[in-house]
Structure 1
Amino acid sequence: MALKCLWIFIPPTSKSWGGNNVNDLETPVAFPGDAYKRAANSSVHVRLGFVAQVMQELAVLFGEDHASLRLGEKEVDDFLNMIHQMKDGLLSCMKNKKSRWNKKLYRYFKRLSSDVLEQKKNSAEAWEMIRREAIMHIFHASLLITT
C-alpha cells in the first residue's frame, strides 16, 4: 500500500495478549468475513476507514464490564491503549478523516455485545469468546492494511 504516513501498523500477536490459548469456543455471531472482503477490494481510504472502525468498535466492546475477562486490568488497559493508538494512527494517514461507517460491521459488534456478553451475563466464557474474536479482527485488519 503506497501511503505517505509516518505511522506503521504493527499488530499484536495472540501471545502478547493473553497467551496463545485461543480456545475453540464458537460465538453465536458469524464473523463478518464478507465485510472484510469488500473492504479488501476497495480503495486505500475505504480500507483505512474500515480498520479504524474495527479498532473503534473493539474499544467500545472492551469498555464494557470486563471484570470476568481472564486478564489483569493492566493487560486490558494496555490492549485498549494499543487499540486507540492504532485507530488514531490510521486516522492520521487519511486525508479525509470522515469515512463512511460500515453498518454491517457496526451491527456485528452490537450483536457480540448483546448475543454473547449480555446473554451470558459477562461470564468468563463470554469474554474468552470476545477475546478470540478481537484477535481475529486484529489479524484480518492487519492484512487489510499491509496488502
Structure 2
Amino acid sequence: MFNRIFLLCLCLCLDVDGLPLGCRWLQHKFREHSVKSITLLETMANSTNTNTTQDADVPFPDELYPHPSEASVEDKLWFIVQLLDKVSELLSVDQSSDTIWPWQKSTVDDFLVVMHGQTRGLSPCVDSSKKKNKKLHHYFKKLTSHILEKMSYSAEAWELIRKELRIHLLRVELLALSSN
C-alpha cells in the first residue's frame, strides 16, 4: 500500500506545470534551439543580396494555431512538432537538381539540424499516433507550388519562404512558451 502511494506521489511530482511526463526538454532546451534557428534564418538573409518587400501569396490559415488558453499542452506541442517537420521537409530539397538555395549549404544544414533537434526533443511529449493536420500539410504544399515552383526556385522565392518560416518559428516559440 505504501509503495502505491509513494509511486503516485512521485508521478504527481514529476508531472508539474501540466507538461506530459518526460517533457522537460521543452523547459530546458526548446528556447535555446528556437533562438538558434531564428538566428540561422537571419544569417541566411544576410548571406544573400536578395531582399524582397513582397509577401508570400499563400496566407497561413491562422485558425490552425492552437489558441494558448484553449488548447491542451499536448495539442500545442503536437502542432509544433508537425510544423517543425514541415519546415524541415520544405528545406530538404534535392540539391542535385536546379532547386538550389541562395544560401550557404552549411547554414541550411545547421538550420535543419536544429529543426530535427527540436522535433526529437519534443517527440516524447506528444502522442505521435494522433491524426496529422491536413490543413498544415496543404499550406506547406501551397508554399512549394505557389511560390517556389511558380517562381522557378529563384533566390527571391527562397527569400519569401525564409521570411514566412521566420514568422512561423516566432509564433511557435510563443506557443511553446504558453505551454511551460
User: TM-score scaled to structure 1, two decimals?
Assistant: 0.87
Root-mean-square deviation (Å)? 2.1
Say whether the 8 Å CA contact 1:53–1:101 is kept in structure 2: yes
How do 1:105-124 residues align onto structure 2 when only pairs under 5 Å count?
105-124=136-155
Q: Look at both structures and tell me which one has the larger radius of gyration over its CA atoms.
A: 2
Deviation for aligned residue 1:23: 4.6
Amino acid of the structure 1 residue aligned with 2:35: P
State the partner residue of 2:87: 58
Q: Is residue 2:42 matched to residue 1:18?
A: yes
Gaps of 5+ in 1: none
Amino acid of the structure 2 residue aligned with 1:87: T
Amino acid of the structure 1 residue aligned with 2:136: L
Q: Is residue 2:158 matched to residue 1:127?
A: yes
Amino acid of the structure 1 residue aligned with 2:81: A
Amino acid of the structure 2 residue aligned with 1:12: V
Q: Which has the higher helix share?
A: 2
How do 1:6-45 residues align onto structure 2 when only pairs under 5 Å count?
6-7=24-25, 8-10=29-31, 11-12=34-35, 14-19=38-43, 23-36=52-65, 38-40=66-68, 41-45=70-74
Provide, for residues 45-80 of structure 1, a one-character-per-residue CA deviation record: whole Å limited to 9, x for no partner.
111110000011011100125654332000000001
Q: Is residue 2:115 matched to residue 1:83?
A: yes
Deviation for aligned residue 1:39: 4.9
Say whether the 8 Å CA contact 1:56–1:87 is kept in structure 2: yes
Amino acid of the structure 2 residue aligned with 1:2: G
Say whether the 8 Å CA contact 1:61–1:109 is kept in structure 2: yes
Identify which of structures 1 and 2 has the higher relative contact order when contacts are C-alpha pairs closer than 8 Å and 6+ apart. Answer: 1
State the partner residue of 1:73: 105
Q: Is residue 2:132 matched to residue 1:101?
A: yes
Deviation for aligned residue 1:137: 1.1
Percent sequence identity over aligned pairs: 33
Partner Cα distance (2:55, 2:135) in 1: 20
Partner Cα distance (2:101, 2:67) in 1: 30
Provide, for residues 12-41 of structure 1, a one-character-per-residue CA deviation record: whole Å limited to 9, x for no partner.
2644333476753211100232211x3533
Moved over 6 A (4+): none
- Distance change >3 Å, CA 65–CA 122, structure 1 → 2: farther
Q: Is residue 2:18 matched to residue 1:2?
A: yes
